[in-house]
Amino acid sequence: MSDYKLAINGQNVDGDMVLDVVNPATGDVFAQVARASVAQANSAVAAAKAAFPSWSRTPIAERKKILASFADKLNARAEEIARVMTQEQGKPLAESQFEVSYTEAFIRHFAGMDIASYVVQDDEAFHVEVRRKALGVVAAITPWNFPILIPGFKLAMATLAGNTVILKPSPTTPICGLILGEICNEVFPAGVVNVIVDDNDLGAVLSEHPDVAKVSFTGSVETGKRVMASASSTLKRLTLELGGNDAGIILPDVDVKETAKKIFAAAFMNCGQVCLAVKRAYVPDSIYDEMCDELAKLADAAIVDDGLKQGAEIGPLQNKAQYEKVLGFLESAKKDGTIIAGGEQVDRPGYFLRPTIVRDVAEGTRIVDEEQFGPILPVIRYKDGEDIVARVNQSQFGLGGSVWSADKDKAIELAGEMESGTVWVNQHLYFAPHIPFAGAKNSGIGIEFAEEGLAEFTQIQVINVAN
């Protein structure tokens, strides 16, 4: 018997199989959850399809009330969810608590939004009105780095727009998604939200399914390409939020110590497992040694421990596969650069690595060109006055980036030249439900958050009337 059940057609049901959940701080199994079969995935889609006509006709005011109740129920279980999140994901408890509270804030924001029709022509000849209608069944496929926030905002936006949902959380962090399923069963009509868990074997079932109208996917570039290919046979709508290799461009006039603190925080949050984290720091010759030294001091001082331990600042990598991948990046860093802090495994059970600073490294190496998605920061030197944006823009990624300078106008000018969906100035990582979020180049297709993101869960319908 599993500790957590699937949510299908308003019921909490056992899976046809069981999946072990590993605590990355120990490497040991700490829970078992229901795992869905292909038949159960198809049943979830059928339930969502059956629920769609009634839900899509439900007045938006009622849908908003249900979302507010969803947020209330999430709040009531906040501490439980945060502790479970730290056990299955690894992040420090304070980060988990913040994620739960931020998820609630996202849901409440969307519960306050409207989807309004508008008139584009109204004269003696024609009355032309633009409406937005729900698409149908949405498959939300989510990753392991933010196991409550990403499912939470996808569910909120999809259901507000009148769609029904199949949520498939990552198999290495399934519990948060299944708890969301329990809550949804309490507040949504049966079939509106369904949650299934797999072992990375049901994604294609959803993305190929003829009764799924849209896939909203967050994950790696390679997996996103597979989702896009499998969805092509039915021309599904797609939102793909994919990988990033965000550059932080630091100009010579910054306060080195203060900037180093902010860069470090933006690079190593969630053990560096953030798509929008600073993953490359570009530093001019004139302050390069000083910046490297400051970053190394911060890395050496960081407390790496089980996220449930008091004082832990950086937890383990989330799963064994990612841990081994990052170990490969460390080997490349040793060969291609100079490690001045970290660079070693922690002698204890679990998937722990010290935060690592790599200097004397440049483009053309794995540690700079690829997304590490772990606790490693390469620091790249450039010459004062060099066109550094051109170097940064060589990347295949374009999710985010930042520019740091005492000259705000100069920083804004450089920010506008960067080929990224989001560029911050003198900060990094601030995102919110009212701010559109989109990737450029290989970092994704479509928009999340804000009115622009909500529109992606709808179909435009033009009512064109002859007067």
DSSP 185-221: HHHSPTTSEEE---SS-SHHHHHH-TT--EEEEES-H
| For residues 287-301, average pLDDT | 98
| For residues 283-288, average pLDDT | 98
- Give the Cα separation of 418 and 324 in Å (integer): 32
Asked if 66 and 188 count as a contact pair (C-beta separation under 8 A), the reply is yes
Cα-based angle 161, 162, 166 (whole degrees, multiple of 5): 100
Scan for tokens 């599904």, then name that residue.
Answer: 236
Asked if 224 and 244 count as a contact pair (C-beta separation under 8 A), the reply is no
Name the average pLDDT for the chain. Answer: 97
Q: What dotted CATH number matches 6-242+443-466?
A: 3.40.605.10
Spell 181-203 as b/e; 16+ CB within 10 A means b.
bebbbebbebbbbbbbbbeeebb
Task: Please name the helix (run of DSSP H) or strand (run of DSSP E) that holds residue 240, with its range, or none.
Answer: strand 237-241
Residue 136: pLDDT band with limits 50, 70, 90:
very high
Catalytic positions, please? 241, 275
Q: Are strands 11-13 and 6-8 parallel, antiparallel or unpaired?
A: antiparallel
| For residues 435-445, average pLDDT | 97
CA-based nearest residue to 280, from 386, 364, 156, 190: 364
| For residues 184-212, average pLDDT | 98
Instruction: Name, in order, each residue with C-beta under 8 angstroms of 455's C-beta and a sequence gap of 6 or more.
Output: 132, 447
pLDDT at 118 over 70: yes
Question: Mapping DSSP to helix (H, G, I), strand (E, B) and coil, where does residue 354 land?
Answer: coil
User: How much helix, strand and coil, in percent to the nearest 5, is found in the chain?
Assistant: 40, 25, 35
| For residues 305-327, average pLDDT | 98
| Residue 282 C-alpha from the chain's centroid | 24
Neighbours of 74 (CB within 10 A): 22
Q: What percent of the chain has pLDDT over 70?
A: 100
Q: What dotted CATH number matches 246-432?
A: 3.40.309.10
- Give the Cα separation of 416 and 425 in Å (integer): 10
Residue 344: pLDDT band with limits 50, 70, 90:
confident
Residue 139: pLDDT band with limits 50, 70, 90:
very high
Asked if 237 and 228 count as a contact pair (C-beta separation under 8 A), the reply is no
Neighbours of 59 (CB within 10 A): 9
Scan for tokens 């009764």, then name that residue.
Answer: 211
What pLDDT shows up at residue 384?
A: 86
pLDDT at 1 over 70: no
- Indicate the residue type of 172: T
Any idea where the domains of the chain sit in the sequence?
6-242+443-466, 246-432
Q: Are strands 11-13 and 437-438 parallel, antiparallel or unpaired?
A: unpaired
CA-based nearest residue to 241, from 24, 460, 459, 456: 456
| For residues 51-57, average pLDDT | 98
pLDDT at 2 over 80: no
pLDDT at 218 over 70: yes
CA-based nearest residue to 230, from 258, 202, 253: 202
What pLDDT shows up at residue 385?
A: 87
